[in-house]
Every structure is written in C-alpha cells, then in structure tokens.
C-alpha cells in the first residue's frame, strides 16, 4: 500500500510517499524557519499562508521524487492535530480534495503518534531498515510535547508521562532566547554545548510525581543566573542546561521502561536530534541491556513520512476517515 502523507501542523510544509508504512520513496520538506525567525517564534497566520503557497509544489515534488503519479497512490494521510488550526487545515483539506477526486481512503493522523512512527522508516538506498516492532516505549520530545508513550501494538498508544508545563524543545527555545541565540534555539544550544562544561553551573532537575516532567523551573533558573551577570562562558551555560534536561529525560525513560517491563526504547521528535540526549540515552540503555532506536535527524523533526507511516497502520486497523474530518488543534490523544 502506497500512501501520500501531508504534514502542515506548524512551520514545515511536507509531503511524502511511503510504501507499507516503512519504505520512504520520497520526503520533501519546506521549512518556514526564515519567515518566523524575525519574530522569535512561529506566527500562526503567517504559517497558514505560507503552507497554502507551498503545498501544491511540495506534493508535486514528493510524487516526482517517488516516481509515481497520483493514480498510483492508494490512500492519503494528513496530520490533523495537535498543531496550529489554520496550518493543519491546509494539509488536511489538500488531502481531502485528493481523496475525493481519486476516490481513495483518507486518514487523519495524530501528529505525536506520527513522530513515534519515524522509528519505522527506512530508505531503499541506505543501510539499516528499522526492525522495531511493538511493544516498546517511546519518548516523544518536541517543541510542543514531552511524552512517555507505551506502544502496545501497531494501533494502541498509551501515555504514561507528560510535562506539567513547558515541553523540552520549548525550554531549549526559551533558554536560547535568554542566551541571545537565534530561533529555533534547540540546535544552537546543542552546538554550543558540545564545547562547554556540563557541570559548570548546577541547574535544578525538577522532581515531579510519577513519570511526569517539568521544565519551567529550570528555564527560570537559567534566566535568573543570566540576569545576575552569568559570569561563565556561554557554552558552559548551554552545556549545563542541556545536561539538566537530558538527565531528567533519561532518568524518567529508564524508570518507565522498568515499570512497564519494556526492553525497547524509541526516541522521537525534534529534541531527539540532540547530541547530548542521544549519547546519554545510549549509555543508559546499554547499561540496562535495552535496545535503543533513534531516527535519523530528518525524521526526528516534523516531516510527512512519519504521518504516512502512521496513516498506513491506522488504515490497516480499519480506521479510515470520511470527508467530514476536522482538524483538532489541541488534540493529544
Ligand atoms: O518535532 P519538531 O520538529 O516540531 C514539533 O512538533 O514541535 O520539534 C522542534 C523542536 C524545537 O523546539 C527545536 O528547538 C527542537 O525541536 N530541536 C532541538 C534540536 N533540534 C531541534 N532541541 C535540542 N537539540 C537539538 N539538536
Ligand atoms: Zn512535531
């Protein structure tokens, strides 16, 4: 089954052709980062308008790269939440129109579940098709979410931990702003942290109940430290902050895998690009004899291949949608 996926939930316009939920035939992404950078964050109205300008071209490119025509597509999958309402509607309505004209199934995909499915993707010309199968634990760390999810089977996702305030990526972006770094700040902090001392500043590791997270206190601690003059090189602040985030993410993920008796851990979301997180999670998993799965960076940040993959498993489970499908900006489940 060959699926065309569409992702327009935030500031990436993406279209992708994926076969049987795993083999990526194309994955085209147009980032709007330069449109939003002057504002220090995503401007919803601009995002929606930019998606409208780009979507036709991006879909055409995805089909061309896959070497396939629209009549060779078996179903359409579009992210329909969570995300920005106006932005989501662009991809969703595009998929609806194609589904109507070509009379092929349409499925609305939860963007977060899409992130998890990035771990299933592979490309024909690259080594290492992911052999990940449920059950497994997924840590989804993005600009909007920090979630521990148990994937029991290909269609059952259980949230067992979440953030009480800021998402991990949001904390990276906000701290980057405090440090005077450009948007999006996560990659900038990560780059600086590679040359900094992680124990230069002792930032707090929030302890919240259960398997939950909190990052707003840490963000405030960095803000206070800098407003008192800082006094250590910026790369040391970046490294100490990164270490504080990573320590909590790894500790909670290990506790979750133990609680649920899961031997496979899969990272997902933009923050899964973080080099500090990748290293520390690999060390912790090795120590506990767990298998760790991390998608290549291009499938960690927002992309339509992950949406097409999740769409495939939903259609297999008989969960296609009708043309009345709406967008759910605040949707988590
Ligand atoms: O998954 P994603 O592309 O979009 C959302 O669904 O939110 O994640 C974007 C987030 C941003 O907050 C960005 O700063 C963060 O992922 N990010 C990183 C890194 N690369 C991207 N955070 C830390 N280190 C990185 N290397
Ligand atoms: Zn995302």
β-strands 23-31, 12-19: how paired?
A: antiparallel
Q: Is the CB of 81 under 6 A from ligand 1?
A: no
For the record, the structure tokens of 211 come out as: 């398997």
Centroid of ligand 1 to alpha carbon of 221 (angstroms): 21
The whole-model pTM stands at 0.96
Domains of the chain: 2-121+299-316 (3.30.420.40), 136-294 (3.30.420.40)
Query: What DSSP element (H or E) covers 89?
Result: helix 85-102
Mutational test site, ligand 1, from 41, 241, 301, max ligand atoms within 8 Å of CB: 301
Ligand 1 atom index nearest CA of 173: 14
Q: Helix 44-66 vs helix 85-102: angle between axes, to the nearest 10 degrees? A: 30
Q: Is the CB of 325 under 6 A from ligand 1?
A: no
Which one-letter DSSP state was computed for residue 71?
Answer: G
Centroid of ligand 1 to alpha carbon of 271 (angstroms): 4
Residue pLDDT tens, the chain, 333 long: 999 999 999 999 999 999 999 999 999 999 998 999 898 888 999 999 999 999 999 999 999 999 999 999 999 999 999 999 999 999 999 999 999 999 999 999 999 999 999 999 999 877 656 789 999 999 999 999 999 999 999 999 999 999 999 999 999 999 999 999 988 899 999 999 999 999 999 999 988 999 999 999 999 999 999 999 988 999 999 999 999 999 999 999 999 999 999 999 999 999 999 999 999 999 999 999 999 999 999 999 999 999 999 999 999 999 999 999 999 998 776
Cis check for the bond before 184: say yes or no (omega within 30 of 0).
Answer: yes
Mutational test site, ligand 1, from 219, 270, 272, 300, max ligand atoms within 8 Å of CB: 270
| Residue 6: C-alpha distances to residues 15, 35, 57, 98 (Å) | 5, 20, 12, 11
Q: Is the CB of 269 under 6 A from ligand 1?
A: yes
């Amino acid at each position: 089954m060959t699926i065309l996926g569409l992702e327009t939930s935030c500031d990436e316009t993406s279209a992708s052709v994926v076969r049987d939920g795993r083999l990526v035939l194309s994955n085209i992404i147009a980032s709007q980062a330069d449109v939003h950078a002057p504002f220090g964050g995503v401007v919803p109205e601009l995002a929606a308008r930019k998606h409208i300008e780009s979507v036709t071209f991006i879909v055409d490119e995805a089909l061309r790269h896959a070497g396939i025509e629209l009549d060779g597509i078996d179903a359409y999958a579009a992210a329909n939440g969570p995300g920005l309402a106006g932005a989501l509607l662009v991809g969703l309505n595009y998929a609806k129109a194609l589904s109507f004209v070509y009379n092929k199934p349409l499925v609305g995909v939860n963007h977060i579940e899409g992130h998890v499915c990035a771990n299933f993707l592979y490309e024909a010309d690259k080594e290492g098709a992911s052999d990940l199968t449920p059950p497994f634990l997924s840590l989804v760390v993005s600009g909007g979410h920090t979630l521990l999810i148990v994937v029991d089977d290909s269609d059952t996702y259980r949230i067992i931990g979440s953030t009480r305030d800021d998402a991990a990526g949001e904390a990276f972006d906000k701290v980057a702003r405090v440090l005077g770094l450009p948007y999006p700040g996560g990659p900038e902090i990560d780059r600086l942290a590679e040359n900094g001392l992680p124990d230069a500043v002792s930032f707090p590791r929030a302890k919240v109940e259960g398997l939950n997270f909190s990052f707003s206190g840490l963000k405030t601690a960095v803000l206070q430290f800098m407003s008192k003059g800082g006094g250590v090189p910026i790369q040391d602040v970046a490294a100490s902050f990164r270490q504080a985030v990573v320590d909590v993410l790894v500790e909670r993920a290990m506790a979750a895998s133990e609680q649920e008796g899961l031997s496979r851990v899969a990272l997902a979301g933009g923050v899964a690009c973080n080099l500090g997180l990748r290293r520390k999670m690999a060390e912790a998993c090795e120590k506990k004899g767990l298998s760790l799965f991390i998608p290549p960076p291009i499938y960690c940040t927002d992309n339509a291949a992950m949406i097409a993959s999740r769409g495939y498993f939903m259609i297999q489970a008989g969960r296609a949608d009708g043309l009345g499908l709406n967008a759910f900006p605040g949707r988590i489940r």
